[in-house]
Amino acid sequence: MAGTSRKFPMLRRSRAMLGSRRVWQPRLVFWAGAIGIGVISVLFAVLADKAQALFHLMIGDLMIGDRHSWRFYLPLIVTPLGFVLCAWLAYAFFPGSQGSGIPQAIAARHLRDDEDRSHILSLKLVVGKIVLTIVGLFCGASIGREGPTVQVGASLMLQAARWGGMAQARGLILAGSAAGIAAAFNTPLAGIVFAIEEMGRTYEARTNGLVLTAVILAGLASLGLLGNYTYFGVSKDTISFAVEWPLVIACGVIGGGFGALFSLLALKVTRRIRRWHTQQPLQRALLVAAVCGLGVAVIGIASGGLTFGTGYAQARGAVEGTPLPWFFFAEKFAAGLLSMVSGIPGGIFAPSLAVGAGIGSSLGLILGASTGAAALLGMAGYFAGVVQAPMTAFVIILEMTGNHDNVIALMLASMLGYGTARMISHEPLYHALSRVFIAEAIRRRRAEAAPEQGHG
């Protein structure tokens, strides 16, 4: 054996490396981080579903329209107060937790300094993001947990990097974000595509292994706890392009147009609110949250409770063939926009898919097409329009419905949605919002540098 080692020095080095703690410690910490993302994502999903169920139990009379019951008007109190509580906690204790969480993960990849990253990705923010999103769902906010899971995943992976002494911070943030999406939806392919298309933009080939490993381990943890499932059940409808091409085009163009409108309005309104906040930031933030919460409550009551929460049940019903009210998409659109600009933590993935399902359902009724097929196409067009990430849109919908017969139609609807959105809104939503966190880091650096210069 000694002779073999002398003849093959590379073999000797390999054995030494395999036995080295310096080699194994970072890998073990990274693997543990990826599994942790899967476990926490599942717990987050379970708690979020329970919070929604409790809210709907509390306002049960809404669904039967009993206007004489005091519970019918309960959202007018609970929802605005919940929004104010979430906004106050986010401002006072968890700054950096507001909104989706995806812009924070994107911004962290652009920031070079570890201290700057810690303001938007940390274990403290993991707790804040999860708790406040659950509180938001408990009070009826039209938000999702998928975007927050991206910030949670990126934060956990960055912390694992610090513990394991790993230097590839940008690649690890990407891996944590992909693992978050994969575990949140049980869509491993969509997690990888999301990392490449939405998070990366300038994707580096050397991060391939990190992203794949993180997605596999987080996915295995999710499978171990929940088993294999499709997020929206299994869609049986097959889109016949020869017959239903008008539906494909309508869902792509109209869905993408509404998606771009959501993105454009969200950016314009949040910028105006941010400028208005400069004088009295806390008081005005709470006032905006209260007004938005009241608006969400009024829309929710008018819709018979359909617009409260993620919209998952409504989207799943549409995919399985139950038509949605023709005006549902407009109500959900408004509730989602108000929830987003309110400043409370919460994502737009699930509400966007619900709006898209509503658009598709309405177009299906007009064109005499299958509700399930129309809902799928509407989801692809609208979601691609909102996030301007067409590959993520069609891959995530394919994986969430378990039907691979509609690949070409969903691809086309996504591309039409993306193309339409690019003509209306030139800025991708998440990347435009990420610049806010980058600008805050720059301002913080300048403020810290100013006293030092003055002292010098």
Sorted by where each starts, the structural domains of the chain and their CATH numbers stand as 26-226 (1.10.3080.10), 241-438 (1.10.3080.10)
CA–CA separation, 166 and 191 (whole Å): 22
Residue 342: in which H helix or E strand, if any?
Answer: none
DSSP 99: B
Give residue 454's pLDDT band: very low, low, confident or very high (50, 70, 90).
Answer: low
* Cβ atoms 213, 375 nearer than 8 A: no
Counting Cβ atoms within 10 Å, is residue 278 exposed (0-12), middle (13-18) or buried (19+)? exposed
Give residue 60's pLDDT band: very low, low, confident or very high (50, 70, 90).
Answer: confident
17-21, 26-30, 288-292, 318-322: segment of lowest average pLDDT: 17-21
Q: Output the six-digit token pair for 452.
A: 């030092």
CA 304, 76, 259 angle in degrees (round to 5)? Answer: 60
CA–CA separation, 81 and 242 (whole Å): 51
Whole-number Cα distances in Å, 137 to 2, 17, 82, 101, 307: 65, 49, 9, 16, 12
Q: Which residues of 18-49 are buried (b: 16+ CB within 10 A; e: fewer)?
A: eeeeeeeebeebbbebbbbbbebbbebbebbb
Average pLDDT over residues 385-394: 90
Give residue 214's pLDDT band: very low, low, confident or very high (50, 70, 90).
Answer: confident
Spatial CB neighbours of 105, under 8 Å, sequence gap ≥ 6: 121, 150, 151, 154, 173, 176, 177, 199
CB atoms within 10 A of CB 167: 10
The pLDDT, as a whole number, for residue 377 is 93
Cα first-last separation, the chain: 65
Smallest CA-to-CA distance from 104 within 340, 436, 446 is with 436
Does residue 212 have a pLDDT over 70? yes
CA–CA separation, 364 and 366 (whole Å): 5
pLDDT, one tens digit per residue, over 106-157 is 998 888 888 888 889 999 999 999 999 999 999 999 999 888 999 999 999 8
109-123, 133-147, 227-241, 381-395: segment of lowest average pLDDT: 227-241
pLDDT, one tens digit per residue, over 166-186 is 767 778 888 888 888 888 777
* Cβ atoms 426, 388 nearer than 8 A: no
Helix, strand or coil, per DSSP, at residue 345: strand
Does residue 287 have a pLDDT over 60? yes
Average pLDDT over residues 188-195: 82
CA–CA separation, 222 and 312 (whole Å): 19
* Cβ atoms 231, 366 nearer than 8 A: no
The pLDDT, as a whole number, for residue 451 is 67
pLDDT, one tens digit per residue, over 396-420 is 888 887 777 788 889 999 999 999 9
Dihedral sign of CA atoms 79, 80, 86, 89 in order: negative
Average pLDDT over residues 92-98: 91
The pLDDT, as a whole number, for residue 230 is 67
